[in-house]
Structure 1
Amino acid sequence: MYEDKTLTCRDCGNEFVFSASEQEFFAQKGFQNEPTRCPACRAARRAQNGNGGAPRQMFTVICDGCGCETQVPFQPRGDRPVYCRDCFEAQRQNRF
């Protein structure tokens, strides 16, 4: 059903292949437009967006599950429990 297509990157002008498997993936995700950037330019753009490559600010907290000290990537507000990675996964498994 899908065939490889050669597209031109709008940023660098290089040609790249939009493979049949990528086209199928795009269709499954509901994407209606073909990519306009090559994989390298897409990766560079993703890295540039976000926080500019700066390390994420981490906050030291005490886990409400096991009491160990851990770091989380958000500022706890105090109105909800905060868990370490292991306790968070255990809580998540118990929900389903």
Structure 2
Amino acid sequence: MYTDEQLNCTDCNAPFTFSAGEQEFFAAKGFTNKPNRCPDCRAARKSQRAGSGGGGGGSSYSGGGYGGSRPAREMFQATCSGCGKVAEVPFQPRGDKPVYCRDCFSQRQSYR
């Protein structure tokens, strides 16, 4: 049903074989497009994306622990409900719940 097909890589312009087995796999996965890149360029691109924290999600920054840079988290100041010191927290306090500094929060057991 499928036969090997010669394609040219869009990155390096080298010819590569789109094998009958690969075509069958693509069809089973529901892929309708043929690959644009040779296996070497595909692997290089995949490792580049993984190394930069990408993933194709369309996000405006690359984060997620893959080594990409992430914008600084906005911090808010609040008075600690435990000790009364100024605490920096990563959320906007609303006033209806207690807010704790790092030390008081770590001493509380209710968060676990």
Instruction: Please give the TM-score of this superposition, normalised by the length of structure 1.
Output: 0.54
- The answer to whether the aligner puts 1:44 opposite 2:44 as a matched pair is yes
CA drift of 1:52 comes to: 3.3
Q: Identity, % of aligned pairs? A: 55
- The answer to whether the aligner puts 1:17 opposite 2:17 as a matched pair is yes
| Corresponding residue of 2:76 | none
Structure with more helix by fraction: 1
- Rg bigger for which structure? 2
Distance 1:5 1:31 in 2: 16
Instruction: Please give the TM-score of this superposition, normalised by the length of structure 2.
Output: 0.47
| Corresponding residue of 2:30 | 30
Q: CA RMSD in A?
A: 2.3
Ranges in structure 1 where 5+ consecutive residues have no aligned partner:
58-77, 80-96
Ranges in structure 2 where 5+ consecutive residues have no aligned partner:
54-64, 68-110
Aligned length, in residue pairs: 58
